[in-house]
Structure 1
Amino acid sequence: MTMSATVKEYFAALERLKQNKPQVIEKGSPINKDTVALEAGRKRGSIRNRPGFEPLLEAIDQAGAQPRPEAKKRVAVNPKQTAEIELLKRDLDVARSRYMSLLYLNAEMAKTIRRLGGDVPRFGGVTDISIDPKSTDVPF
């Protein structure tokens, strides 16, 4: 007996669920008739005890009874990598502090220029900046 296109779609959805690579539903969902139907793009409850669905129902029951493979968890922590991450976090904090200090300094200088009667450009997008790649005063 040949399988209909719908049953083939259900089997394809069942295989994706077995491999824990669903495209429609959440990963790690239990394997049952409803999740297979939803993964196949059908409505919940569309898989029923009908003629032609027997092999599918049997495969769903077998897949649902088998334990799901656990995701591999990180066993050991690499101390070198952990130290590198901490160093990068400290560098990020320093960069953020410096950025905030420079913003404050710019705002204070703008106030002083306005008080002295000068024209201060609006803060916003930066334009007309060119950096000489041979310059030694660039911090990076």
Structure 2
Amino acid sequence: MSESLAVYFEALERLKRCKGKINNDTVAIEAGRKKGSIKKSRPQHAALIAAIDAANEEARRPQNEVSHRLQQAKDDSQELRRQLDAAYARELSLAREVMELRRELKDLRGGHVIPLREPRAGSRS
């Protein structure tokens, strides 16, 4: 490996450690060279470009994981909200049904029917 390529690889390693943006231009600038000095047309840069692309993918992977986990949390939150709304609707429906049944029971007991048990203290009828 030539000395100039070694400088580029060292610059790539430094960028990996500081978790900076990794592309051909940032590696060249980190190596003390001009922007655009790493060219795909140069066969000696093929291994360097492959290493830069791999490092770039590796640096992007945690962001993708975080994005995925965030989206999963949002989806879970929406599902839980939907389940909560459905539970509220069921509870409201049951409360309405209980109220209607109590009215019906009160109408049925309207003075002609004697209850079998005395209502407990504090209970509603």
Q: TM-score range by the shorter chain?
A: 0.3 to 0.5
The structure with the largest alpha-carbon Rg is 2
Provide TM-score, normalisation by structure 2: 0.45
More helix by share: 2
